[in-house]
A = this chain, B = another copy of it.
Amino acid sequence: MKKELRDRNGLTEAEYLSSYEPGDYVRPSVAADMVIFTVMETEEENYRKLPEKELEVLLIQRGVHPYLGCWALPGGFVRPDETTEAAAKRELKEETGVDHVYLEQLYTFSEPERDPRTWVMSCSYMALIDSSKVWVSAGDDADQAVWFRTSFRLMDEHIEYRKNMTYDGMKTIRTKRYELELSHEDVVLRSMIEKKIVKTEHETVTEYRILENDGLAFDHAKIIAYALERLKGKVEYTDLALHMMPKEFTLTQLQQVYEVILGKTLLKAAFRRKIAHLVEETDSFTENEGHRPSRLFRRKLEEE
Protein backbone atom coordinates (compact mmCIF):
# COMPACT_ATOMS: atom_id res chain seq x y z
CA MET A 1 0.00 0.00 0.00
CA LYS A 2 2.98 2.29 0.52
CA LYS A 3 4.46 1.17 -2.79
CA GLU A 4 4.69 4.52 -4.42
CA LEU A 5 6.04 6.54 -1.52
CA ARG A 6 9.21 8.36 -2.42
CA ASP A 7 11.89 9.45 0.02
CA ARG A 8 13.66 12.80 0.14
CA ASN A 9 15.85 11.70 -2.75
CA GLY A 10 12.81 10.87 -4.83
CA LEU A 11 13.39 7.12 -4.68
CA THR A 12 10.73 4.44 -4.29
CA GLU A 13 11.45 1.63 -1.86
CA ALA A 14 12.41 -0.74 -4.67
CA GLU A 15 14.77 1.81 -6.16
CA TYR A 16 16.25 2.55 -2.77
CA LEU A 17 16.87 -1.13 -2.01
CA SER A 18 18.42 -1.92 -5.36
CA SER A 19 20.87 0.93 -4.93
CA TYR A 20 21.49 0.16 -1.25
CA GLU A 21 25.13 -0.09 -0.21
CA PRO A 22 25.75 -1.64 3.21
CA GLY A 23 28.30 1.00 4.22
CA ASP A 24 31.40 0.20 6.16
CA TYR A 25 30.30 0.45 9.74
CA VAL A 26 32.02 -2.01 12.01
CA ARG A 27 29.85 -5.05 12.65
CA PRO A 28 30.12 -7.66 15.37
CA SER A 29 30.43 -11.37 14.86
CA VAL A 30 27.57 -13.22 16.48
CA ALA A 31 28.04 -16.65 17.96
CA ALA A 32 25.35 -19.03 19.18
CA ASP A 33 26.59 -20.71 22.36
CA MET A 34 24.76 -23.46 24.12
CA VAL A 35 24.41 -24.57 27.68
CA ILE A 36 23.39 -28.19 27.26
CA PHE A 37 22.04 -29.81 30.39
CA THR A 38 21.27 -33.38 31.18
CA VAL A 39 20.69 -35.34 34.36
CA MET A 40 22.72 -38.50 34.75
CA GLU A 41 22.61 -41.34 37.21
CA THR A 42 25.60 -42.16 39.33
CA GLU A 43 26.50 -45.78 39.89
CA GLU A 44 24.92 -47.31 42.94
CA GLU A 45 26.53 -50.02 45.01
CA ASN A 46 23.44 -51.41 46.73
CA TYR A 47 21.35 -53.39 44.22
CA ARG A 48 18.18 -52.34 46.01
CA LYS A 49 18.77 -48.62 46.21
CA LEU A 50 17.95 -46.25 43.40
CA PRO A 51 20.87 -44.43 41.82
CA GLU A 52 21.43 -40.79 42.68
CA LYS A 53 21.14 -38.15 39.97
CA GLU A 54 23.38 -35.32 38.98
CA LEU A 55 23.06 -32.31 36.73
CA GLU A 56 25.63 -32.21 33.96
CA VAL A 57 26.78 -29.62 31.42
CA LEU A 58 28.56 -30.33 28.16
CA LEU A 59 31.87 -28.56 27.57
CA ILE A 60 34.50 -28.71 24.88
CA GLN A 61 38.19 -28.29 25.41
CA ARG A 62 39.64 -25.63 23.18
CA GLY A 63 42.44 -26.67 20.89
CA VAL A 64 43.22 -23.18 19.64
CA HIS A 65 43.86 -19.74 21.01
CA PRO A 66 42.44 -17.82 22.73
CA TYR A 67 41.81 -19.76 25.93
CA LEU A 68 43.77 -22.68 24.51
CA GLY A 69 43.24 -25.68 26.76
CA CYS A 70 40.32 -24.10 28.58
CA TRP A 71 36.83 -25.51 28.48
CA ALA A 72 34.12 -23.74 26.53
CA LEU A 73 30.44 -24.05 25.73
CA PRO A 74 29.66 -25.68 22.40
CA GLY A 75 28.82 -23.05 19.84
CA GLY A 76 29.84 -21.34 16.69
CA PHE A 77 29.33 -18.35 14.50
CA VAL A 78 25.96 -17.64 12.98
CA ARG A 79 25.94 -17.72 9.20
CA PRO A 80 24.19 -15.12 7.05
CA ASP A 81 21.53 -17.53 5.84
CA GLU A 82 20.38 -18.84 9.20
CA THR A 83 18.86 -17.68 12.47
CA THR A 84 20.77 -17.86 15.72
CA GLU A 85 18.48 -20.70 16.65
CA ALA A 86 19.33 -22.62 13.50
CA ALA A 87 23.01 -22.10 14.25
CA ALA A 88 22.49 -23.45 17.76
CA LYS A 89 20.67 -26.50 16.41
CA ARG A 90 23.38 -27.11 13.87
CA GLU A 91 26.10 -26.99 16.51
CA LEU A 92 24.09 -29.18 18.81
CA LYS A 93 23.75 -31.80 16.14
CA GLU A 94 27.45 -31.66 15.33
CA GLU A 95 28.53 -31.79 18.94
CA THR A 96 26.16 -34.36 20.38
CA GLY A 97 24.57 -36.03 17.38
CA VAL A 98 21.22 -35.28 19.00
CA ASP A 99 18.51 -33.65 17.00
CA HIS A 100 15.12 -32.91 18.47
CA VAL A 101 15.67 -31.40 21.87
CA TYR A 102 14.27 -28.61 23.94
CA LEU A 103 15.98 -25.36 23.04
CA GLU A 104 15.38 -21.94 24.54
CA GLN A 105 17.10 -18.66 23.87
CA LEU A 106 18.62 -17.27 27.06
CA TYR A 107 20.34 -13.95 26.65
CA THR A 108 22.62 -12.09 24.29
CA PHE A 109 25.93 -11.23 25.92
CA SER A 110 27.59 -8.29 24.29
CA GLU A 111 30.37 -6.84 26.44
CA PRO A 112 32.77 -5.53 23.79
CA GLU A 113 35.81 -7.16 25.40
CA ARG A 114 34.29 -10.55 26.03
CA ASP A 115 36.40 -12.02 23.23
CA PRO A 116 40.03 -10.87 23.10
CA ARG A 117 40.24 -11.35 19.35
CA THR A 118 37.52 -9.11 18.06
CA TRP A 119 33.98 -7.90 18.64
CA VAL A 120 31.89 -11.02 19.23
CA MET A 121 28.43 -11.18 20.73
CA SER A 122 27.10 -14.41 22.10
CA CYS A 123 23.47 -15.28 21.68
CA SER A 124 23.15 -18.05 24.24
CA TYR A 125 20.76 -20.97 24.31
CA MET A 126 19.83 -23.55 26.86
CA ALA A 127 19.27 -27.09 25.62
CA LEU A 128 17.81 -29.93 27.66
CA ILE A 129 18.45 -33.47 26.61
CA ASP A 130 17.51 -36.74 28.15
CA SER A 131 20.37 -38.81 29.39
CA SER A 132 19.27 -41.92 27.52
CA LYS A 133 20.06 -40.05 24.31
CA VAL A 134 23.44 -38.92 25.52
CA TRP A 135 25.95 -40.26 23.15
CA VAL A 136 29.15 -40.15 25.18
CA SER A 137 31.28 -38.68 22.49
CA ALA A 138 34.47 -40.65 22.22
CA GLY A 139 37.01 -37.93 21.45
CA ASP A 140 36.49 -37.35 17.76
CA ASP A 141 38.62 -35.31 15.40
CA ALA A 142 39.63 -32.01 16.87
CA ASP A 143 37.96 -31.16 20.13
CA GLN A 144 36.57 -33.45 22.75
CA ALA A 145 33.16 -32.87 24.31
CA VAL A 146 32.83 -33.91 27.93
CA TRP A 147 29.99 -33.91 30.45
CA PHE A 148 30.81 -32.01 33.64
CA ARG A 149 29.01 -32.53 36.93
CA THR A 150 27.55 -29.21 38.02
CA SER A 151 27.38 -27.60 41.40
CA PHE A 152 26.07 -24.06 41.81
CA ARG A 153 25.93 -22.84 45.36
CA LEU A 154 25.04 -19.55 46.97
CA MET A 155 28.06 -18.71 49.09
CA ASP A 156 27.25 -15.29 50.35
CA GLU A 157 24.37 -12.86 50.37
CA HIS A 158 24.50 -9.26 51.37
CA ILE A 159 22.10 -6.32 51.33
CA GLU A 160 23.10 -2.72 51.59
CA TYR A 161 20.65 0.11 52.16
CA ARG A 162 21.94 3.41 50.99
CA LYS A 163 20.36 6.78 51.53
CA ASN A 164 21.09 8.61 48.35
CA MET A 165 21.79 12.27 49.07
CA THR A 166 22.24 13.84 45.67
CA TYR A 167 19.10 12.35 44.22
CA ASP A 168 16.27 11.84 46.63
CA GLY A 169 15.15 8.40 47.63
CA MET A 170 16.75 5.19 48.71
CA LYS A 171 18.90 2.70 46.98
CA THR A 172 19.34 -0.94 47.90
CA ILE A 173 22.12 -3.14 46.65
CA ARG A 174 21.65 -6.86 46.98
CA THR A 175 24.76 -8.88 46.26
CA LYS A 176 24.88 -12.64 45.91
CA ARG A 177 28.02 -14.62 45.34
CA TYR A 178 27.74 -18.05 43.79
CA GLU A 179 30.31 -20.76 43.40
CA LEU A 180 30.10 -22.66 40.15
CA GLU A 181 32.00 -25.92 40.24
CA LEU A 182 32.18 -28.20 37.24
CA SER A 183 33.97 -31.49 37.52
CA HIS A 184 34.81 -34.44 35.36
CA GLU A 185 37.14 -37.10 36.67
CA ASP A 186 40.08 -35.11 38.02
CA VAL A 187 39.36 -31.90 36.14
CA VAL A 188 37.71 -29.32 38.37
CA LEU A 189 36.68 -25.92 37.03
CA ARG A 190 35.81 -23.42 39.71
CA SER A 191 34.34 -19.94 39.30
CA MET A 192 32.88 -17.32 41.57
CA ILE A 193 30.08 -15.28 40.09
CA GLU A 194 28.56 -12.21 41.63
CA LYS A 195 25.00 -11.18 40.98
CA LYS A 196 24.24 -7.64 41.93
CA ILE A 197 20.74 -6.18 41.98
CA VAL A 198 20.60 -2.45 42.41
CA LYS A 199 17.19 -0.98 43.09
CA THR A 200 16.40 2.70 43.04
CA GLU A 201 13.18 4.62 42.76
CA HIS A 202 12.32 3.49 39.26
CA GLU A 203 15.19 1.33 38.20
CA THR A 204 16.18 -2.25 38.90
CA VAL A 205 19.49 -3.19 37.39
CA THR A 206 20.83 -6.72 37.53
CA GLU A 207 24.41 -7.40 36.71
CA TYR A 208 26.54 -10.53 36.66
CA ARG A 209 30.27 -10.42 37.16
CA ILE A 210 32.92 -13.11 37.16
CA LEU A 211 35.03 -12.69 40.29
CA GLU A 212 37.23 -15.73 39.86
CA ASN A 213 37.54 -18.15 37.03
CA ASP A 214 39.69 -21.18 36.56
CA GLY A 215 39.60 -23.13 33.34
CA LEU A 216 36.47 -21.81 31.65
CA ALA A 217 36.90 -19.86 28.43
CA PHE A 218 35.58 -16.36 27.74
CA ASP A 219 32.64 -15.28 29.91
CA HIS A 220 31.18 -18.76 29.81
CA ALA A 221 31.03 -19.01 33.60
CA LYS A 222 28.57 -16.15 33.50
CA ILE A 223 26.51 -17.77 30.76
CA ILE A 224 26.34 -21.07 32.65
CA ALA A 225 25.32 -19.25 35.84
CA TYR A 226 22.62 -17.43 33.93
CA ALA A 227 21.36 -20.70 32.44
CA LEU A 228 21.28 -22.38 35.84
CA GLU A 229 19.20 -19.57 37.26
CA ARG A 230 16.79 -19.74 34.35
CA LEU A 231 16.52 -23.50 34.67
CA LYS A 232 15.86 -23.30 38.40
CA GLY A 233 13.36 -20.54 37.98
CA LYS A 234 11.31 -22.16 35.24
CA VAL A 235 11.32 -25.70 36.55
CA GLU A 236 8.80 -24.85 39.22
CA TYR A 237 6.11 -23.46 36.98
CA THR A 238 6.62 -25.12 33.60
CA ASP A 239 7.12 -28.60 32.20
CA LEU A 240 10.80 -27.91 31.50
CA ALA A 241 12.01 -30.87 33.52
CA LEU A 242 9.94 -33.26 31.45
CA HIS A 243 12.26 -32.56 28.53
CA MET A 244 15.09 -34.19 30.42
CA MET A 245 13.25 -37.46 30.88
CA PRO A 246 13.36 -40.54 28.67
CA LYS A 247 10.19 -41.55 26.87
CA GLU A 248 8.96 -43.47 29.90
CA PHE A 249 9.92 -42.79 33.46
CA THR A 250 8.77 -43.29 37.02
CA LEU A 251 7.51 -40.44 39.15
CA THR A 252 10.40 -40.97 41.52
CA GLN A 253 12.85 -40.45 38.68
CA LEU A 254 11.05 -37.28 37.72
CA GLN A 255 11.13 -36.11 41.31
CA GLN A 256 14.86 -36.74 41.43
CA VAL A 257 15.33 -34.51 38.41
CA TYR A 258 13.37 -31.74 40.08
CA GLU A 259 15.39 -32.20 43.25
CA VAL A 260 18.72 -32.06 41.46
CA ILE A 261 17.75 -28.89 39.63
CA LEU A 262 16.24 -27.17 42.64
CA GLY A 263 18.92 -28.39 44.99
CA LYS A 264 16.48 -29.46 47.67
CA THR A 265 14.39 -32.45 48.56
CA LEU A 266 10.67 -32.44 47.94
CA LEU A 267 7.83 -34.21 49.66
CA LYS A 268 6.60 -37.12 47.63
CA ALA A 269 2.87 -36.68 48.03
CA ALA A 270 2.91 -32.96 47.32
CA PHE A 271 5.22 -33.44 44.34
CA ARG A 272 2.92 -35.97 42.77
CA ARG A 273 -0.09 -33.76 43.15
CA LYS A 274 1.75 -30.85 41.60
CA ILE A 275 3.02 -32.56 38.46
CA ALA A 276 0.01 -34.84 37.98
CA HIS A 277 -1.32 -32.70 35.15
CA LEU A 278 1.96 -32.84 33.22
CA VAL A 279 2.20 -36.61 32.88
CA GLU A 280 0.07 -39.51 31.83
CA GLU A 281 0.09 -43.13 32.94
CA THR A 282 1.30 -45.96 30.81
CA ASP A 283 0.48 -49.61 31.46
CA SER A 284 4.09 -50.53 32.07
CA PHE A 285 5.96 -50.96 35.30
CA THR A 286 9.59 -51.23 36.27
CA GLU A 287 10.88 -54.71 37.03
CA ASN A 288 13.65 -56.44 38.91
CA GLU A 289 14.44 -53.55 41.18
CA GLY A 290 14.58 -55.44 44.45
CA HIS A 291 11.47 -53.67 45.68
CA ARG A 292 7.97 -52.82 44.61
CA PRO A 293 7.62 -52.08 40.87
CA SER A 294 6.83 -48.54 39.86
CA ARG A 295 4.42 -47.37 37.24
CA LEU A 296 5.94 -45.72 34.19
CA PHE A 297 4.62 -42.40 32.96
CA ARG A 298 5.15 -40.28 29.90
CA ARG A 299 4.97 -36.57 29.21
CA LYS A 300 1.44 -35.43 28.51
CA LEU A 301 1.22 -33.41 25.33
CA GLU A 302 -2.43 -32.46 25.42
CA GLU A 303 -3.81 -30.18 28.08
CA GLU A 304 -2.42 -26.98 29.41
Which A residues form the contact surface with B (CB < 8 A)?
1-2, 5, 7-8, 11, 13, 16-17, 20, 22, 25-30, 63-70, 77-85, 100-103, 105, 107-108, 110-112, 116-119, 121, 123, 129-130, 133, 159, 161, 169-172, 199-205, 214, 239, 243, 247, 299, 301-302
Contact = CB atoms under 8 A, between A and B. Distances in A.
Contact of A7 (B22, B68, B129): B68
B108 A123 contact: yes
Contacts of A116: 17
Contacts of A7: 63-65, 68
A125 to B, nearest CB: 10
B110 A26 contact: no
Contacts of A172: 301-302
A9 to B, nearest CB: 9
B112 A81 contact: yes
A29 to B, nearest CB: 5
Contact of A301 (B171, B243, B247): B171
Nearest to A28: B30
Contacts of A66: 13, 16-17
Given A20-B117, A68-B5, A80 B112 contact: yes
A contacts with B: majority SS: loop
| Copies of this chain held together in the complex | 2
A168 to B, nearest CB: 9
Given A13-B65, A27-B29, A107 B110 contact: no
B100 A123 contact: no
A242 B8 CA distance: 43
Contact of A102 (B79, B84, B202): B202
Given A5-B68, A80-B28, A201-B299, A118 B20 contact: yes
Contacts of A5: 68-69
Contact of A30 (B1, B20, B105, B121): B121
A247 B25 contact: no
Interface centre among A8, A26, A101 (most CB of B within 10 A): A26
Contact of A27 (B8, B28, B68): B28
